Each structure stands twice: as structure tokens, then as C-alpha cells.
Amino acid sequence: MAAAPEMADRYDYLAPRLRLFVSLDIQGSTSFKYASDNVETWLPIIHWFYIETQSTVERSWLKIAQRLRHDVPAAEPGPEPVFWKSAGDELLFVK
């Protein structure tokens, strides 16, 4: 009779792995929001931050990866960190 497979073999997502988390937020956003009496003042800025941050992370990762490949030819940095979740004005990326 064959032995039962290990949990990590059955469920790949349970296997240990190293993760890089990147957290980005707007410094002073809480005081900025409280200083404004109108959501129309700060909401476009938060929205812009969400959109611009994603493209900035992608562009920055491409530059980092290119430099790493040049400096360490055997290195393979892989794809850029991806958006994981937000917590207010904080954006979290994972790789």
C-alpha cells in the first residue's frame, strides 16, 4: 500500500516559499483628509495614487530587473510584484 502524499505535495500553495511584500502609502493622508471638509478635494488624489502606483511599480521593477541581469548574469528576478490588497491609502504588493 502506497504512503499518503505529504500535504505540501498535494497542495502546492501550502509549500513554504519566500515572499517579498512591498507597502506604499501616502504620508500625511489622514491629516490631509481631515483638513478637507469635502471628499471631492482628496478623493481624486487618492484615486490618482492608486493608478499611478501600479504603473510605477511595474516600471521600477523592469529597471531593477534589467540592472540585476546586467550585474549578475545568472540572476532571474522574474515578474514584477503584483497588487495584493489595499488598506485605506496603503497599497500592498507581493512577489
Tens-digit pLDDT profile for residues 52-75: 998 999 999 999 999 998 998 888
**pLDDT value for 61:** 92
The average confidence (pLDDT) of the chain is 85
- Indicate the pTM of the whole model: 0.71
* Residue among 91, 80, 85 nearest 23 (CA): 91
- Its sign, for the CA torsion 25, 30, 31, 32, is positive
- Arithmetic mean of pLDDT, 27-51: 85
- Assign 65 to helix, strand or coil: helix
pLDDT of 1 higher than 70: no
Strand ranges (E), the chain: 21-24, 82-87, 90-94
